[in-house]
């Protein structure tokens, strides 16, 4: 039946083709037409799905705190205005991002993206309601873009965080048990945020857009909040793990010449994620695994005098620095149990590590030093 149908379609195309056009050209034209129609339907479906999610977000916020939603209903500025302002006035970030990007001796690269400074500012900002709700308006679904796809979940999660702040201060009454009853909305919102951040980190643009900074700040605030983080991580832990793995691979795979500032911002985001106790242990395990595997590959290449990936070798130092920072933070927080730090990966990392360092120390002294520093932290009294 399938062969007969294909044959009938071929005859129909041949008989109906316009004069001056070959059968092949006419077939390609028909294929493009059908493909464009499919794309149009897919786009409409995506817009409708986004609208459904937006309505569910509003409904969830209204269930948590009806008074908050009523007071903020007048804010109807579209995300298109935000993006237009961003394209007109992108000079709010450091101009040093236009250079070669080879200077990573300090936090200037990360601060120039606005992420670190904005995050610390948000921690001490008393009137966070005006700060958040004015900077990220609702999403206009009539137009779609990478920025708007990130703005929508950011706006919802910012309002959720603001309700949390106001309820903690006794200004609003809020029922966060509603988050348990609507796991779909919170999961999809966090997933959209993580996917949007991954896309931007894969193809960074300088100066960094403000909604990227807002996205990182909201994500960190969400997972460090004592009450909201439990709801979010319980429903989105796998997605968070996938996000961390993606960021690590973005660091390892990048081979461009002007990569260091962008990669430094990614490494800072990983470090901020490690502030959460639940995410920290799994992140340490992931980093230990990557560093250990690379050390073994480097040792093998050194022994047989074969080539190794120099770019990956350079990028590996960022992972080592993140790992050292996380381990230091963990030892300083004495109230947190760290007996399971690294788990199985810790044992694998420490096995035969002295021999690895001994063979690599002459040719790769700096990398060997980092391996030794990590091993000291893993073997320290606080890490037992």
C-alpha span between 126 and 168 (Å, rounded): 12
What are the residue ranges of helices labelled H in the chain? Answer: 2-16, 23-64, 66-71, 79-88, 108-112, 115-124, 128-135, 146-168, 178-181, 183-202, 210-224, 228-253, 260-273, 277-303, 310-332, 343-350, 353-360, 365-379
- Neighbour count for residue 306 (Cβ, 10 Å): 8
Q: Give 79-140 as a DSSP string.
A: HHHHHHHHHH--TTS-GGGGS-----SSSHHHHHTTHHHHHHHHHH-S-HHHHHHHHS----
C-alpha span between 171 and 166 (Å, rounded): 5
197: tokens are: 């951040």
In the DSSP assignment, the letter for residue 74 is T
CA distances from 270 to 110, 163, 196, 317 (A): 12, 26, 16, 14
Per DSSP (E only), the strands in 111-165 are: none
Per-residue model confidence (pLDDT) at position 342: 65
Peptide bond into 368 cis (omega under 30): no
Interhelix angle 115-124/128-135, nearest 10 degrees = 140
CA distances from 151 to 56, 167, 223 (A): 16, 24, 18
C-alpha span between 54 and 132 (Å, rounded): 18
Q: Is the C-alpha dihedral spanning 39, 44, 47, 52 positive or negative?
A: negative
C-alpha span between 312 and 169 (Å, rounded): 48
100: tokens are: 């070669």
Per-residue model confidence (pLDDT) at position 115: 53
pLDDT tens for the chain, 384 residues: list them.
Answer: 888 888 888 888 888 888 888 888 888 888 888 877 777 777 788 888 888 988 999 998 888 888 776 666 544 444 444 444 444 444 443 333 444 444 444 444 444 444 555 555 544 443 443 343 333 334 333 334 556 668 889 999 999 999 888 888 888 888 888 888 888 898 999 999 999 899 888 887 766 777 788 888 999 998 888 888 888 888 888 999 999 999 999 999 988 887 887 888 899 899 999 988 888 999 999 999 999 999 999 999 988 888 888 999 999 999 999 999 999 887 666 544 444 566 788 999 999 899 999 999 999 999 999 999 999 998 875 444
Per-residue model confidence (pLDDT) at position 255: 87
Per-residue model confidence (pLDDT) at position 130: 39
């Amino acid at each position: 039946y399938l062969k007969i149908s294909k044959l009938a379609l071929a005859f129909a195309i041949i008989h109906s083709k316009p004069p001056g056009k070959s059968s092949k050209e006419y077939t390609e034209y028909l294929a493009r037409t059908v493909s464009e129609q499919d794309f149009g339907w897919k786009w409409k479906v995506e817009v409708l799905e986004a609208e459904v999610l937006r309505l569910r977000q509003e409904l969830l916020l209204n269930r948590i705190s009806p008074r908050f939603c009523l007071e903020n209903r007048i804010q109807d500025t579209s995300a298109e205005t935000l993006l237009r302002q961003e394209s007109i006035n992108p000079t709010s970030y450091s101009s040093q991002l236009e250079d070669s990007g080879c200077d990573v001796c300090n936090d200037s690269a990360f601060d120039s993206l606005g992420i670190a400074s904005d995050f610390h500012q948000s921690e001490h900002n008393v009137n966070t309601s005006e700060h958040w709700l004015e900077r990220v308006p609702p999403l206009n679904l009539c137009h779609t873009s990478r920025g708007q796809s990130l703005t929508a979940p950011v706006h919802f999660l910012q309002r959720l965080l603001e309700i949390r702040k106001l309820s903690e201060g006794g200004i609003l009454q809020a029922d966060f048990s509603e988050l348990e009853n609507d796991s779909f909305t919170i999961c999809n919102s966090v997933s959209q945020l993580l996917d949007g951040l991954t896309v931007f980190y894969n193809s960074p643009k300088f100066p960094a857009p403000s909604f990227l900074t807002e996205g990182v700040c909201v994500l960190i605030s969400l997972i460090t909040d004592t009450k909201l983080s439990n709801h979010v991580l319980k429903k989105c832990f796998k997605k968070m793990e996938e996000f961390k793995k993606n960021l690590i691979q973005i660091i390892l795979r990048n081979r461009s010449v002007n990569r260091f500032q962008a990669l430094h911002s990614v490494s800072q985001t990983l470090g901020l994620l490690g502030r959460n106790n639940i995410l920290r242990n799994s992140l340490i395990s992931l980093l230990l695994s990557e560093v250990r595997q690379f050390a073994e590959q480097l040792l093998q290449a050194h022994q047989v005098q074969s080539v190794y990936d120099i770019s990956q070798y350079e990028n590996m130092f960022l992972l080592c620095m993140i790992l050292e920072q996380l381990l230091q933070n963990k030892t300083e927080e004495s109230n947190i149990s760290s007996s399971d730090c690294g788990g199985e990966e810790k044992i694998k990392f420490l096995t035969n590590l002295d021999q690895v360092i001994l063979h690599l120390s002459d040719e790769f002294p700096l990398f060997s030093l980092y391996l030794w520093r990590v091993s000291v932290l893993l073997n320290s009294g606080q890490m037992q």
